[in-house]
Amino acid sequence: MLEMKTDPIVKLVDDLPQTSITTRMLGGLDYIVPGEWESASGFDKLVRLVTDETDEDILKAVKVRAEELYNDPEAGYQKAVWLYQTVDMMDKALAAAALANKIGDKIGFLSFLSKLTPKSDMVQSIDLALKLTIELFSYTQINGLPRDGIQEFVTSLNDYTGDNVMRLATLICVDGLVPLGPDFVTKVTKVLEKAIPTDLEKSPLYKKIGDLIPGGGSDEKLGFVRRTFSSAKDWMDGFVSSKNLTTESVVSNLQSVIAFSDDKLDYVAAFIDVSTNYFEYTGIQSVAVHVIELAEDEVAEKISEQKKKDARLRRQEAAKLRIEKARRRHEDKRRKKEEVALMLCNVGIA
């Protein structure tokens, strides 16, 4: 059984850097989905941003409830973040192992790095397909669905916004278009069709998360990875087409934040693997926003229920006052009648 615990969500968000190679890369690609993403600025600020609330008591209540939701062992939020973290952890391990000692001479911004060995098409294709499968698993964990909910996941892609769509846009660009070219969807599909179980088993990412993939053996698990990619390929093709994405346009925007020569694109992909953590970064943001939104709804419901309760108590108190006033009026009338009767009685006696 995999241990999928993480740091508290508040710490995870607070520890996200506002400026890094990752944020520069994401900033260089946010033209694809303008307005959907911005770098993190701490959990408290994120609560304010998501809720658009100014009442400090409400903000505190939302924060506390969001922490509780994230820590719930029955929920899948920590598992989702662990999956996002694992993608980048394995990327770094694989790319770091490929470093040589010679300093590169054509990649200005990356000159501090040793020469990188790019992935083969087989390795890159399996890596991309596994990352998409992990996105599926994270989606199902967050939404309480079975891990094999491919159709629900693919349907949800059309509704992806914010950090979610930024992550998928980056996946398409830096794991698809840059290293594999404009026909990356077709290329990955063909590679997966030719792949055999041992090709999958060689992947460090598969070695880490393979137990989560439905299937009794590597052949069945490879089949699941194929189905996941195949189910999402129309959406990816449509996304590339609707955004007019080309390798050249993506490279041009990346060059605005990272200096490299156009003939080193596969090396740039390797550099991105070892130097960025966009899956973890946007994944933490996605999960944080999700639990904050849930917490806000619950707090609002409690506030609404409390208001209803307060209103009910006020009505009950008002009813008691009316009854008390009526009782007093009745008592006053009765007393006055008795006083009049007594007075008439006394007059008669006199």
Contact 288, 9 (CB under 8 A): yes
- Residue 64: inside a domain, yes or no? yes
- Residue 159: inside a domain, yes or no? yes
Distance of CA 164 to the CA centre of its chain: 6
- Residue 315: inside a domain, yes or no? no
Range of the domain at 66: 9-301
φ and ψ at residue 181, rounded to 5 degrees: 95, 175
Kindly tell me the burial class for residue 36, based on how many C-beta atoms sit within 10 Å of its own C-beta (0-12, 13-18, 19 or more): middle
Residue 113, SS3 per DSSP: coil
Contact 214, 221 (CB under 8 A): yes
- Residue 195: inside a domain, yes or no? yes
Per-residue confidence in pLDDT tens, the chain, 350 aa: 567 788 999 999 999 999 988 999 999 999 999 999 999 889 999 999 999 999 999 999 999 999 999 999 889 999 999 999 999 888 776 555 544 333 333 444 444 444 556 678 899 999 999 999 999 999 999 999 998 899 999 999 999 999 999 999 999 999 999 999 999 999 999 999 999 999 999 999 999 999 999 999 999 999 999 999 999 999 999 999 999 999 999 988 888 877 665 556 777 777 788 888 999 999 999 999 999 999 999 999 888 666 656 556 666 676 677 777 767 877 777 777 777 677 777 766 54
- Residue 114: inside a domain, yes or no? yes
- Residue 316: inside a domain, yes or no? no
Task: Report the amino acid identity of residue 136.
Answer: L
pTM for the whole thing? 0.82
Q: Is the dihedral of CA 88, 255, 110, 17 positive or negative?
A: negative
Separation between Cα atoms, residue 119 and residue 135, nearest integer Å: 21
φ and ψ at residue 317, rounded to 5 degrees: -65, -40
Separation between Cα atoms, residue 25 and residue 273, nearest integer Å: 12
User: CB within 8 A of 256, min separation 6: which ones?
Assistant: 28
Q: What is the tally of structural domains in the chain? A: 1
